[in-house]
Amino acid sequence: MGFPKRHPLQNQDGNSAWCRVARRTASVVVLSLGLAACNATTSITDLLGMQRDGAPVETANNPANDPTRAPDQGLITDANPWPGDAALPEGEGQEILTLYNDEAALNEKRVALLLPLSGPNEELGRAMRHAAELAMFDVAGDDFVLMPIDTAGTYQGGQAAAHQAINAGAKMILGPLFAESVSGASEIAKAAGVPVIAFSNNQRVAESGVWVNGFVPEDQIARAAGYATTQGKYRFAALLPQNDYGRQIAGALQGVVSRVGGSLGRVAFYAPGSENLEQSIRDFANYDARRANLRARKRELQADGSAASQRALKRLEGVDTLGELDFDALILPATGGELRQVSALLAYFDVDGAQVQFIGTFGWNDPGLFSEPALKGGIFAALDPENWKLFSDRFQRTFGEQPPRISSLAYDSAALAAVLSRDSGQMTNEAVTNPNGFVGVDGIFRLTAQGRSERGYAVMQIQPDGAKVVAPAPAAFDQVF
């Protein structure tokens, strides 16, 4: 993968058409340093509302299951020109090591973008590349250079891409996307002292200097569980898939539930798609014992024969079990078809979502799930839906396709790098971990010294007419963590 040494719109006198267009374009997002101390932070909604004539045309975090696709062409095609002073090209060019081994590296702010640009996730990688290029157009200075490099989604690919990036003078690495590639890239980047802001949501690859900036499911659960406690639900249980994803969540649940003031009871696992799934849910629901309790109670009432007993029997008509569950909030991180199956079995074995608060993750934000009767009333943490709509509409008008949901990670991370390089000139660990955080497409976020990310999530509830926000995303971190 190669790219032009300088942006092709650069003029001989050093000024660029890129920057002339960008200056009269309202930015998609403001990444504000010192968020908590800044009361005048411009909102994304205000910025998008300021779009002027002549500006560029706008268009669980499970990328493999996302149905959207990135366009096959570059940012500009004959059929889809970029209005303005000049076109923003795809950026194909010479080999990176040939182009970037020069004196310009001393002055340019070079940032590598490591993505799966080949292989089974090529389209997702390309869409995220487009999102990062959009951020570069919006907020980057003249000396900012974005260098997309292919990882092929593998450990070895991550290593090789990081080598290329560092040899080319990268001051920061954005990506990779998958934990395996992050592991490969981080080994090389740490040795060179180059910070990495990865798009993975797997906290196992987080460490000092390597940030996991994806949508972390444990934090989503914490946000939704915290809301549940405000509704009087304190006794938590969890039903998790028997895989790495489920085990990762299980390891954090005790801390998550304690942090929001609840108590964690049973944590059970099931094998997704197995023949034993029904029995696993039946056992978790304690169905047989509760069913036996109902039958025993009916026999007692029938033996009594009094008028009061007959009235009690009448009330038990249509009741399937008797006896309370030992939890009133249930954490269900499954998504898609697996969630449909699990929730339907829970309902069948008399775990009633009207009595037990079902709690999910951002993966629940799927219109295909909103019609599931068993999930009505369920809650999940989500990123600000208004901000995402503004971004996705712009992306679609620019590229002709809806962006994958996680493409906003590439936009926000690229914008963060551009802002740091432009305003402070420093893309260091200290600058990245500003405790006041930043504002992006996905709301407020900050990166910690331990390599984690923290975000401000909204809480949504599945209602008869779709998912609705029941608790808005916070505007500052003193309202979250």
Query: How far is 128 from 116, CA to CA, in rounded Å?
Result: 10
Cis peptide bond upstream of 176, omega within 30? yes
Question: Interior CA angle at 449 toward 209 and 384, to 5°?
Answer: 100
Structural tokens at position 35? 């968020």
3-state secondary structure string, 53-80?
A: CCCCCCCCCCHHHCCCCCCCCCCCECCE
DSSP states along 264-317:
EEEEEEE-TT-TTHHHHHHHHTTHHHHHHHHHHHHHHHHHH--HHHHHHHHHTT
pLDDT at 334: 95
Among candidate residues 82, 80, 174, the one with its CA nearest the CA of residue 137? 82
Query: How far is 28 from 6, CA to CA, in rounded Å?
Result: 24
Residues 110 and 129 sit within 8 Å (Cβ to Cβ):
no
pLDDT at 424: 60
SS3 187: helix
pLDDT at 436: 87
Q: In terms of C-beta density within 10 A (0-12 exposed, 13-18 middle, 19 or more buried), how is residue 150 classed? A: buried
Query: How far is 215 from 381, CA to CA, in rounded Å?
Result: 10
Query: How far is 124 from 22, CA to CA, in rounded Å?
Result: 26
* pLDDT in single tens digits along all 481 residues of the chain: 333 222 322 333 333 322 322 222 233 344 443 433 333 332 333 333 333 232 222 223 444 444 332 222 222 222 322 223 333 334 333 334 444 555 666 668 899 999 999 999 999 999 999 999 999 988 888 889 999 999 999 999 999 999 999 999 999 999 999 999 999 999 999 999 999 999 999 989 999 999 999 999 999 999 999 999 999 999 999 999 999 999 999 999 999 999 999 999 999 999 998 999 999 999 999 999 999 988 888 888 888 888 887 887 888 887 777 888 999 999 999 999 999 999 999 999 999 999 999 999 999 999 999 999 999 999 999 987 888 899 999 999 999 999 999 999 999 999 999 988 876 667 788 889 988 889 999 999 999 999 999 999 999 999 989 999 999 998 888 766 4
- DSSP strand pairing (329-331 vs 263-270): unpaired
Predicted structure pTM score:
0.76
Query: How far is 359 from 13, CA to CA, in rounded Å?
Result: 58
Q: What's the start-to-end Cα distance of the chain, in Å?
A: 41
Integer angstrom CA distances of residue 171 from 35, 95, 158: 24, 19, 17
Query: How far is 263 from 243, CA to CA, in rounded Å?
Result: 24
Residues 469 and 385 sit within 8 Å (Cβ to Cβ):
yes
Residues 129 and 410 sit within 8 Å (Cβ to Cβ):
yes
Helices 217-230 and 244-259, axial angle in degrees (round to 10): 40
pLDDT at 450: 94
Cα 198–chain centre separation: 12
